[in-house]
Amino acid sequence: MTNIVLFGKPGAGKGTQADFLKIKYNLFHISTGDLFRFNISNKTSLGNLAKAYIDNGDLVPDKVTIEMLKECVEANFKSEGFIFDGFPRTISQAKVLDQFLQKKKISISAMISLEVDEEILIKRLIDRGKISGRTDDMDESKVRNRFREYNMKTSILQDYYKKQNKFHRISGIGSIEKINSRLTRLIDSFL
C-alpha cells in the first residue's frame, strides 16, 4: 500500500493536488476538513460539535478527529492506499495514526510538504472565501488564527516525519500542472 500524508499550511493546495494524485496512483483520498464540512452541512452530532471550532479557525479536539479518521480508514481499507489530507495535524494524531496503521500491518510511505509563503496563502484563502462561502476563509482574523494553530501545533510534525526519514518538500507555487509534475517526479522516485 502507498500511503501519503500531504502536508502544508491552510490554502497550500493539498485538496487540489490530492484530487490529481488519487486518480494517478489509485489512492483513496481522506480530507478531514471535507469530512467535517460534510457533517456540518448534514447537521450530524459530529458536525454540530466541530462547527464552532472550525468557524473560529481552531483545531477540532484530537479525540473527535481521530475517531472520525479511523472510521474512514476502516471503511475504505480495500483501497490500494490512502492520501491523508489535513491529518495528522498534531503530534498525538501522528502517533495514533502510526499505531493504528501498524496494527493493520501498513505504514506511512511519505509525508510531502507543499511549501508556500504565508502572505500568498492569506490572499488565496480570502479569495477562496469569496467563492466557496467557507466561513473559516472569509475573515482575515480567522485565517490568521489558522496559521497560528498551524505554527503552534502542526509544523512540528515535519520533525516527527524527518526522524522517520519520510519527510519531503516541494514548492507549492506555480501552476497546478507544474505542481502535479513535481509531485509525480517525487512519488515515482520512491515507489
Residues lying near ligand ADP in the complex (CB under 6 A) are found at: 10-11, 32-33, 36, 53-54, 57-60, 65, 86-87, 89, 93, 136, 146
Residue 36 CB, shortest distance to ligand ADP, in Å, is 5
Identity of the residue, 132 or 185, whose beta carbon is nearer to ligand ADP in the bound complex: 132
Identity of the residue, 136 or 172, whose beta carbon is nearer to ligand ADP in the bound complex: 136
Residue 60 CB, shortest distance to ligand ADP, in Å, is 4
Distance in angstroms (rounded) separating the CA atoms of residues 102 and 80: 16
Active site residues: 14, 89, 128, 134, 146
- Is the link from the previous residue into 88 a cis peptide, with omega within 30 of 0? yes
Identity of the residue, 52 or 188, whose beta carbon is nearer to ligand ADP in the bound complex: 52
Residue 33 CB, shortest distance to ligand ADP, in Å, is 2
Q: What's 86's DSSP letter? A: S
Residue 188 CB, shortest distance to ligand ADP, in Å, is 26
Q: Is the separation of the CB atoms in 80 and 161 below 8 Å?
A: no
- Closest residue to ligand ADP, judged by C-beta, is 33
Q: If you search the block for the grid coordinates 518538500, which residue do you land on? A: 169
Amino acid at 178: K
If we measure between CA atoms, which residue out of 113, 147, 104 comes closest to residue 7?
113
Backbone angles phi, psi at 146, to 5 degrees: -65, -40
